[in-house]
Amino acid sequence: MKNLETKALVVAGRPQGDWASGILSAARELEEALADPDRLNEVASQLAAVADATGAGMITGASSLGNQLAGIVAGRAARPLTLWTQNGAHGTVLVVEGVLASGAQLARTASRVRAAGAARVVGAAVVAEPRGLAMCRLEIGDDVHALSELAAAR
């Protein structure tokens, strides 16, 4: 799935020097964007496409927003997706993050899912900071997907 084509979620706020304020701005803008049912459906469809393409049978979130998105995707997916909630995991599990900043939450959740028995863990973020995305790929492997990436700080 290296060349997953998605209609990127446009995030107007870009970190311009202050990394933390840029991430917070992106998170606020994402929450506002997802309040629009059409945008929410678009993001849910894109995440469902990641689940389908990777063969995920289970889904969970790495954060509060990730858990909410995971529930929406599980409820709307064309194929069965079971929500993972700290019990035994099996097969491929998709871990969803809303805004991936450092990547620590997604990596930590992936570790817990593996410990629960998942054979494979795939990560997906709606918006990712490039350095955090790279860190996740080091921890989890190449199976970490971003629907869109924040521009690097200048």
CB count, 10 Å around CB of 63?
Answer: 19
How high does pLDDT run on average in the chain? Answer: 85
Two tokens at 135?
């860190």
- Identify any residues that bridge with 124 across adjacent strands, giving them in sequence order: 96, 145
Interatomic CA distance for residues 127 and 47, integer angstroms: 12
pLDDT, tens digit (0-9, with 9 covering 90-100), for 16-42: 457 777 788 888 899 899 999 999 999
Fold of 19-149: Rossmann fold (3.40.50)
Report pTM: 0.84
pLDDT of residue 14: 43
pLDDT, tens digit (0-9, with 9 covering 90-100), for 69-115: 999 999 888 888 999 987 889 999 999 999 999 999 999 999 999 99
pLDDT, tens digit (0-9, with 9 covering 90-100), for 38-53: 999 999 999 999 999 9
* Domain definitions of the chain by residue range: 19-149
If DSSP codes are grouped into helix, strand and coil, which group holds residue 126?
Answer: strand
